Amino acid sequence: MKTKALAKQYCHDFIPYIWYGLVVSVVYILFGLLSADGAPSIGYQLKASFFMAPYIITVVTMIGISFNYRRFKLAMQSGVSRKTFWKAKMLFIAKATLIVNVVNVIISFINMKLGPSETYLYYQAYGKAFSNVFAQSISMFITDYVVLLFIFVAMNTFGTMTSLMNKIGKSIFYSIGVVCYMFFTNLLTQYSSQRLISRFYSHINGDAIFNFIFSIDAKVPRPYPLIGFMIILTIIAALFNLLFTKLEQVKR
């Protein structure tokens, strides 16, 4: 009873982020139209900007999902254990993913009416998976759902981990993150690093792994291995989430 009630409250608190995502998408589209210098038509510019809307909504809602500490405080005030709080979080994330996925799919269908469906990654990879449009839509929905579920669980796990730190700890953590990012992007521009990565990739037979996960070389690529792989990653991320959640405490 408490798990469901908490998850419902978290969903209620999360809904505004979907609106924020829609607003940011609209702003992005409008800027896209405003920046059109007349060479491509307004209609083309609209199609070019519109397909980004689901991705923008995903990024904004990712941020909303990552906030963990205030959800933790609410759970503690309501007399639940950390494990029950974790269950409520997972239930909330599953529901939030469904809501965001429905919004994204609706926008995607609108965009497919405006322009070609090949702008979407799913159709680029699995456009020929099913001949039946209904089956194809269901497949797209489920694939998007599991990918989004993993992203949301991973983001909440990241938020849970950082909520264990104080302000100084977070500053150090993010500074290290920025430095690592700059270091690795610089490293990747160097030929010697690229050769090293390429050798390692060949050594572990990276092509075979990617082909299996994304069923790229299959006669009729289907998303089943990808769905299975994402579910496994989601379970791993959820277990890390539980580990971090058990360490949480209410700060004064």
Partner 1 sequence: MSKIEVKHLAKSFKFAKQPLLNEVNFNLEENEIYGLFGENGAGKSTLMSMIADYNRPSAGQVLFDGEEVHENDEALSEIYFMNQDDMYTKKDKVSQIFSFVESMYQDYDVDLQEKLVKEFRLDVNQKLNKLSTGYQSIVKIIISLCVPCKFIMLDEPTLGLDARNREIFQSNLIETYSENPRTFVISTHIIDEIDRIISHVLLLQDGVIKMNGSIDDVSSKSYSISGPAEDVNSYINGVKVLDEEQLGRYKTVHFMDQLPDREVPASVDIEKMKLQKLLVYIMDRGRL
- Contact footprint for partner 1 (CB under 8 A): 1-2, 5-6, 8-9, 13, 70, 73-74, 76-84, 246, 249-250, 252
13 vs 95, which CB is nearer to partner 1?
13
91 vs 102, which CB is nearer to partner 1?
91
Terminal Cα-to-Cα distance of the chain (whole angstroms): 29
Q: How far is the CB of 40 from partner 1 (least distance, A)?
A: 42
Q: How far is the CB of 156 from partner 1 (least distance, A)?
A: 17
What's the sign of the alpha-carbon dihedral 7, 8, 12, 17? positive
190 CB-contact burial (10 Å; exposed 0-12 / middle 13-18 / buried 19+): exposed
113 vs 251, which CB is nearer to partner 1?
251
CB 23 within 8 A of CB 31: no
CB 149 within 8 A of CB 234: yes
CB 109 within 8 A of CB 102: no
Q: How far is the CB of 92 from partner 1 (least distance, A)?
A: 14
Q: How far is the CB of 87 from partner 1 (least distance, A)?
A: 10
218 vs 242, which CB is nearer to partner 1?
242
- 156 CB neighbour count, 10 Å cutoff: 26
